[in-house]
A and B are shown apart, each in its own frame.
Chain A
Amino acid sequence: MAVSSSSWSTALVHISPYTFASIGIAISIGVSVLGAAWGIYITGSSLIGAAIKAPRITSKNLISVIFCEAVAIYGVIVAIILQTKLESVPSSKIYDPESLRAGYAIFASGIIVGFANLVCGLCVGIIGSSCALSDAQNSSLFVKILVIEIFGSALGLFGVIVSIIMSAQATWPSKG
């Protein structure tokens, strides 16, 4: 498509908003799952090793793995919500400011939830690993460390809330 000037800002606003929106959706699910998987392997390897000497810890410490998994589920939920926000606009209106705004909003939502879940998964995983090792030595420590994990998993929830608010106002220009 021919454009009058060739500066970077012109190039940026002529990238289709659907590109940004799709990348946002990909990041929301991809990076969330990365965080969840990272957390699960950190917890899981310590849990398996510690359970050899202290088999009683296995069932209780699956909670740590579940908290990490919740992070991936947040990513899936937000991705599904975001993809329902995608609408087709006629090609004359693709580069309207309204369209760009909608595309950028979906992109930002995806980044917010993706990276919040990445660090949340990491945090819960590391705490879960320490929790398993401490529980194996002294079972009264389990509940106290679980409280720390609960605070950690709240981080992912913050990301989900903000991204849903962000995506709620992603309105594409109406047809016609």
Chain B
Amino acid sequence: MYGFEAMTFNIHGGYLEAIVRGHRSGLLTAADYNNLCQCETLEDIKMHLSATEYGPYLQNEPSPLHTTTIVEKCTLKLVDEYKQMLCQATEPLSTFLEYITYGHMIDNVVLIVTGTLHERDVQELLEKCHPLGMFDSIATLAVAQNMKELYRLVLVDTPLAPYFSECITSEDLDDMNIEIMRNTLYKAYLEDFYRFCQKLGGATAEIMSDLLAFEADRRAVNITINSIGTELTRDDRRKLYSSFGLLYPYGHEELAVSEDIDQVRAVMEKYPPYQSIFSKLSYGESQLLDKAFYEEEVKRLCLAFEQQFHYGVFFAYMRLREQEIRNLMWISECVAQNQKSRVHDSVVFIF
């Protein structure tokens, strides 16, 4: 019953909600980002970060420091926090927390399959995988030749198994099919997550519906823009769009037939929430679209913390941390390559 969660939520979720709100207070602020953007070397970055909550994770790193090390250690912190929350959680919160990581699992699967296709070493690929999306038997992915084998050998035991029913074909795996597989899996995952949140009901359903709908719409726009000029047919493109969200179904119809960015813009400007995003970009510019979408996402994620007694705060916190790690990676790369003028191109401030 929406509105009465306050009476029973704290039985199982009160402690973890308080913990996640404590973690949120440790996110880097605009002042921290300003300090980091003015660093000259990676050592300076490490020094500034050691005053924040990342201190214990970075202090034992020997110099010379690499950007990948910084990102890896920061991701490690996120993984530790996630695992602590997961082991304290009961149903249905534990299922909810696991759902948050399936996106990373999909990315890892695609990474290993693509890498194997280009004949890279499995160990090297495993090191590049995101730690939140690891599962046992992930290394066996390198053996599969086509999708049926992929499913039968490895994926049938993972939580991703139900998402495969739509994309098993007998074709061999090549770059195009792998991208289609990734997007089909992600579509099934988003729809499943959406249904799960609706089943939970109450404030969780309302807040997560909004966040997931934005995610679905953003992916639809990205799929459209990335497939302009490729051999992806209109029907195939339409099949990759999720069946919920603000753009469903009329926006999807129009996006499926768009042939260039201006047509995409014309479609999106009919929807008030997205019109404000697209109005920031002048005609013909698509590089800043990513940053505009990230800013909108961060705004919505911060709003999830305004309400108490729902699970959306966990999802919002994980996403905000990932955004912070993206920011740190961008800043580190700019500093390492001496391109500090471009630092503000892609950093999204959270507070």
Task: Spell out A's residues near B (CB within 8 Å).
Answer: 38, 41-42, 45-50, 52-54, 122, 126, 129-130, 132-133, 136-137
Interface size for B (C-beta < 8 A) is 16
Complex-state Cα separation, A72 to B110, whole angstroms:
59
Q: Distance in Å from the Cβ of B93 to the closest Cβ of chain A?
A: 13
B25: nearest residue on chain A (CB-CB)?
A: A137
Task: Spell out B's residues near A (CB within 8 Å).
Answer: 6-7, 10-11, 14-19, 21-23, 25-26, 308
Complex-state Cα separation, A50 to B308, whole angstroms:
13
A45: nearest residue on chain B (CB-CB)?
A: B14
The contact of B6 among A53, A126, A132, A133, by CB within 8 Å, is A126
A51: nearest residue on chain B (CB-CB)?
A: B18
A42: nearest residue on chain B (CB-CB)?
A: B10
A46-B25 contact given A122-B7, A130-B308, A133-B308, CB 8 Å threshold = no
A41-B11 contact given A126-B6, A130-B308, A133-B308, CB 8 Å threshold = yes
Complex-state Cα separation, A52 to B6, whole angstroms:
22
Q: Distance in Å from the Cβ of A14 to the closest Cβ of chain B?
A: 39
The contact of B18 among A41, A48, A122, A126, by CB within 8 Å, is A48
Contact B308 A49 (CB under 8 A): no
Contact A49 B22 (CB under 8 A): yes
A54-B6 contact given A45-B15, A46-B14, A49-B17, CB 8 Å threshold = no
For the complex with contacts A129-B14, A130-B308, 10 further pairs of A-B residues with Cβ separation under 8 Å are A48-B18, A49-B15, A49-B16, A49-B17, A50-B19, A52-B19, A53-B25, A129-B6, A133-B18, A137-B21
Contact A129 B19 (CB under 8 A): no
Q: Distance in Å from the Cβ of B20 to the closest Cβ of chain A?
A: 8
Complex-state Cα separation, A53 to B19, whole angstroms:
8
Count how many pairs of residues, one from A and one from B, have CB atoms less than 8 Å apart in the complex: 62
Contact A129 B10 (CB under 8 A): yes
Q: Is the interface of A mostly helix, strand, loop or mixed?
A: helix
A127: nearest residue on chain B (CB-CB)?
A: B6
The interface residues of chain A lying within 8 Å CB-to-CB of B25 are: 53-54, 136-137
Contact B22 A136 (CB under 8 A): yes
Complex-state Cα separation, A47 to B21, whole angstroms:
12
Contact A129 B7 (CB under 8 A): no
Complex-state Cα separation, A137 to B25, whole angstroms:
7
The interface residues of chain A lying within 8 Å CB-to-CB of B6 are: 42, 126, 129
The interface residues of chain B lying within 8 Å CB-to-CB of A38 are: 7
Contact B10 A50 (CB under 8 A): no
Complex-state Cα separation, A47 to B14, whole angstroms:
9
The interface residues of chain A lying within 8 Å CB-to-CB of B14 are: 41-42, 45-46, 49, 129
Q: Distance in Å from the Cβ of A65 to the closest Cβ of chain B?
A: 13
Cβ contacts A to B, 23 pairs, < 8 Å: A38-B7, A41-B11, A41-B14, A42-B7, A42-B14, A45-B10, A46-B10, A46-B14, A46-B15, A49-B14, A49-B21, A50-B18, A50-B19, A53-B23, A54-B25, A126-B6, A126-B7, A129-B6, A129-B308, A133-B21, A133-B308, A136-B25, A137-B21
A46-B17 contact given A53-B22, A54-B22, A133-B308, CB 8 Å threshold = yes
With most chain B CB atoms within 10 A of its CB, the pick from A52, A53, A137 is A53
Q: Distance in Å from the Cβ of B305 to the closest Cβ of chain A?
A: 10
The interface residues of chain A lying within 8 Å CB-to-CB of B10 are: 41-42, 45-46, 129
The interface residues of chain A lying within 8 Å CB-to-CB of B11 are: 41, 45
Complex-state Cα separation, A48 to B22, whole angstroms:
11
